[in-house]
Structure 1
Amino acid sequence: MKVLFVLSLAELLGMALWFSATAVVPALTQEWQLTDSGRSWLTMSVQIGFVVGTLLSALANLPDIVNSRRLFTICALLGALCNASIGWWVNAIEPAIVLRFLTGVCLAGVYPPGMKIMATWFREGRGMAIGMLVGALTIGSASPHLLHALAGEADWRQLMFLASASAVGA
């Protein structure tokens, strides 16, 4: 049961990166004069990065070559670095899209390995365990919107840093 809790919490924290930029799009729209297309690319680039990362990981057989816990940790840390970099030095949409794409690639090393760990640890109760992991993923990916709502008019960079710190905690 401890493994279920720890891994679900790690997944929740790691997935906070997913919609962190999307949650602050209104502030970025004002600061960077984003178009509808730019706003869309901020969100789509993570999804595209995740698909590319998952495909490359599968083709390279990465989850079977690299220890899943190590892969999860490294990817969560790299994703946090990519995400936080937007708040540190990015002031335009183009580098933000590249960093969001790379964040998505990194998230491909968080969610699927988490699923693999959960499936191998729980032979009995596997359905419930995987359900908990998917629930954690859902709450984690939605958490930037909750943080944004709670933070009110806080600077968008703070939310990006908070989501990144969350992933470091994973």
Structure 2
Amino acid sequence: MYKYRLTILVLSQFFCTSLWFAGNSAIENTQHANDSVLLGHLSSAVQAGFIIGTFFYALFAIADRYSPSHVFFWSSLLASLSNLLLIYPSLPLEGLLTFRFLTGFFLAGIYPVGMKIAVDHYESDLGKPMGFIVGALVMGTATPHLLKSINLEAVTANIVVCTSVLAVVGGLTTLLFVDNGPFRKKTEILKFDSFFQSFRSREFRTIMFGYIGHTWELYAFWSCVPQILLIYADQHKQHSLNLPILSFLIIACGSIGCIVSGYTSRKFDSKKFATFLLLSSAICCLLSPFVLNVESIVLLVTFLMLWNIFAVSDSPLFSRLMAENAPRHARGAALTIANCLGFSVTIISIQLTSNLLKITGSHYVFLLIAIGPLFGIISLLMKNFGKNTNLPSKNLS
């Protein structure tokens, strides 16, 4: 079984991160379905929980001080329990928000910790595992749109139960079959500034700024995909279109891009490749006000798919570069705090673009999210970055 550890880890990531999105999808099929304000609060509660959770996990260097597989398991168990409590009868609004927050909090011990496990096993060749792990998250992001296309009113509780069970299975299989990697360096003593050690490296800071630019664009784009399709359907009187299925296909295709970029990063300079992808997605942002007004749904969906592939495919590259340029004993904290900062920025970009799109209905809104990839490009082109970012940093101890 150990030779299949990457497959196990990727499936575990998908099973566990389904809690992030499927929980809200289940609630959207209840009596709260028409309460857009409540659904927005629930989504924000998960995001806020994840942000605070990643800061907590990074501050206490949990993935560096304790076995990452054990951290992954216990986090998945607690996240699945928080998700399962959503089916408690007559749960008040405060309870819904609390359990969504806790689910996000414990997801901080799953997604970034899963990347930490991959780093400990594949230090010399991170492209492939990072591509698959991020691809699993992308597929998890798309899954709720697939669920929305099905009449699930009678099985809402089943969605919650199934995702909770899958998360436990994912955490347990990781605990049993994915041991501590040979490149793991345990931190024996708690130092509250351990996650700041990575920021002392100019290389890491540069990559971190690039990653923040990437997240600014990506999550704003994902949040607006259903709205873009809805605007198209209203303008062209094509209300028979299955918008959730189209949303699923547009976002899910990004998982293929992540896998491909993971493989190709083994042959090309990761920094240059990430810069190319940021430039490509920035061009899509700048072209969007014109292309999104086309009459052909095929052309529209094709453009959105290409935009998504460009926008998400640099994610495994940034994860790889941050892992390679972080101190070995603080890699878990470094990857976790990177997620914390990246997701903090997404709250601003998501609220800004989605609200402006609702108010104006204008595709010129997407010029604002071009700020992200352009900022990332400037960061990656800064001088003194390093001669070869495909090689592990010398600052590994």
Question: What is the TM-score with the length of structure 2 in the denominator?
Answer: 0.40
The gaps in structure 2 that reach 5 residues or longer are 171-397
Change (3 A) 1:34 1:90: farther
SS in 2 for 1:51: helix
- Mapped pair 1:82 → 2:82: yes
Change (3 A) 1:141 1:51: same
The gaps in structure 1 that reach 5 residues or longer are none
Query: Which runs of structure 2 are paired with 1:36-51 in the superposition (5 Å)?
Result: 36-51=36-51
Relative contact order, higher structure (CA 8 A, sep 6+): 1
Change (3 A) 1:33 1:8: closer
C-alpha distance in 2 between matches for 1:145 and 1:91: 25
2:130 matched residue in structure 1 = 130
Aligned-pair distance for 1:144? 4.1
Q: Deviation per CA, 1:12-44, whole angstroms, max 9, x where unpaired?
A: 11111001232134323xx24763321101111
2:5 to 3, 19, 25: 3
Change (3 A) 1:149 1:123: same
1:94 matched residue in structure 2 = 94
Query: Which runs of structure 2 are paired with 1:6-155 in the superposition (5 Å)?
Result: 6-28=8-30, 31-32=31-32, 35-150=35-150, 152-155=152-155
Q: Deviation per CA, 1:60-83, whole angstroms, max 9, x where unpaired?
A: 111111210000000001100000
Aligned-pair distance for 1:165? 1.1
Q: Deviation per CA, 1:58-106, whole angstroms, max 9, x where unpaired?
A: 1111111121000000000110000001113453322011000000000
Q: Is the 8 A contact 1:20 1:145 kept in 2?
A: no
Change (3 A) 1:148 1:32: closer
Structure 1 residue identity aligned to 2:96: A
Q: Is the 8 A contact 2:21 2:140 kept in 1?
A: no
Q: Deviation per CA, 1:114-163, whole angstroms, max 9, x where unpaired?
A: 00001111123311110100001221343344345456443311111111
C-alpha distance in 1 between matches for 2:90 and 2:34: 14
C-alpha distance in 2 between matches for 1:69 and 1:139: 22
C-alpha distance in 2 between matches for 1:34 and 1:136: 30
Q: Is the 8 A contact 2:75 2:110 kept in 1?
A: yes
**More deviation, 141-150/38-47:** 141-150
- Select the structure that is richer in helix: 1
Q: Is the 8 A contact 2:13 2:136 kept in 1?
A: yes
**More deviation, 124-133/4-13:** 124-133
Q: Which has the larger radius of gyration?
A: 2
Structure 1 residue identity aligned to 2:71: L
C-alpha distance in 2 between matches for 1:99 and 1:147: 21
Structure 2 residue identity aligned to 1:12: F
SS in 2 for 1:27: coil
Q: How many percent identity over aligned positions? A: 32
Question: What is the TM-score with the length of structure 1 in the denominator?
Answer: 0.89
2:356 matched residue in structure 1 = none
C-alpha distance in 2 between matches for 1:79 and 1:142: 20
Aligned-pair distance for 1:169? 1.1
- Mapped pair 1:158 → 2:158: yes
